[in-house]
Chain A
Amino acid sequence: QQQVKQSPQSLIVQKGGISIINCAYENTAFDYFPWYQQFPGKGPALLIAIRPDVSEKKEGRFTISFNKSAKQFSLHIMDSQPGDSATYFCAASTNSGNTPLVFGKGTRLSVIA
């Protein structure tokens, strides 16, 4: 019930391509869905987040798509660049973010030239 399932585990994308990472959840009480980006040896950093009252949120090249009925959300990285190579985590929490985040297992993205 508390799990967030993330796929794929790893992803290789050509420079300029679109990277897509998917997450699914079961707990319908989740109401906050952030994505984090982590570079090796560093802590994760908040990339973008969405709440279930909207179906899409865009910030620069990063877009979250949210499907409430399917209990799925995804991260799209447009015009992927080698500097985007990192591990990406989806997460979710309840109570408007007041309960601890539950994280997916991560996706290692490699953008190759």
Chain B
Amino acid sequence: DGGITQSPKYLFRKEGQNVTLSCEQNLNHDAMYWYRQDPGQGLRLIYYSQIVNDFQKGDIAEGYSVSREKKESFPLTVTSAQKNPTAFYLCASRGTLGGYGYTFGSGTRLTVV
């Protein structure tokens, strides 16, 4: 089945530690996105990529980094510079054919311990 796989489902980070969230898709979609979800805040855009080896900052990029070396993969690193990383992180992708809807992964819940 085609879809987006995010891993791990739960992740715990110690203070001062960098952690990387994985996002893999087998939908052959060009565009991929990372959103952060906090209670009552909706989904806020962190980074997005519309093509391999290219990505743009979203509204809340500070303290995060990404790479897009392969079409299928768009990992997100939460660095120690992100002071409040506890949140639910969602990866999404969008194809260029058949409408403009996003396909979302099941999310990674990151908690600082």
Chain A residues with CB under 8 Å of B50's CB are 98
In the docked arrangement, what's the CA distance between A93 and B41, Å? 18
What is the minimal beta-carbon distance from A6 to any residue of chain B, in angstroms? Answer: 8
Contact present for A41 and B107 (CB under 8 Å): yes
Contact present for B42 and A46 (CB under 8 Å): no
What is the minimal beta-carbon distance from B105 to any residue of chain A, in angstroms? Answer: 5
Contact present for B43 and A89 (CB under 8 Å): yes
| The stretch of B11-19, B75-83, B94-102 that contacts the partner chain | B94-102
Asked if A11 CB lies within 8 Å of chain B CBs, one says: no
Partner of B42, one of A41, A89, A93, A98: A89
Number of interface residues of A (CB under 8 A): 24
Number of interface residues of B (CB under 8 A): 25
What is the minimal beta-carbon distance from B61 to any residue of chain A, in angstroms? Answer: 12
What is the minimal beta-carbon distance from A44 to any residue of chain B, in angstroms? Answer: 5
CB-CB contacts of A83-113 with B at 8 A, as 1s and 0s?
0000001000100111011111110000000
Contact surface of B with A, Cβ cutoff 8 Å: 4, 6, 33, 35, 40-45, 48, 50, 58, 90, 92, 94, 99-107
Chain A residues with CB under 8 Å of B45's CB are 100, 102
Q: What are the 7 tightest A-B residue pairs by CB atom distance, in nearest-first order? A: A97-B100, A43-B104, A105-B42, A46-B101, A103-B43, A103-B42, A43-B106
Contact present for B42 and A100 (CB under 8 Å): no
Asked if A49 CB lies within 8 Å of chain B CBs, one says: yes
Chain A residues with CB under 8 Å of B4's CB are 43
Contact surface of A with B, Cβ cutoff 8 Å: 6, 9, 32, 34, 36, 41-46, 49, 89, 93, 96-98, 100-106
Residue of B nearest to A105 (CB): B42
What is the minimal beta-carbon distance from B101 to any residue of chain A, in angstroms? Answer: 4
- Contact A42:B40 (CB < 8 A) given known A32-B100, A97-B100, A100-B33: no
Contact present for B58 and A100 (CB under 8 Å): yes
In the docked arrangement, what's the CA distance between A46 and B98, Å? 13
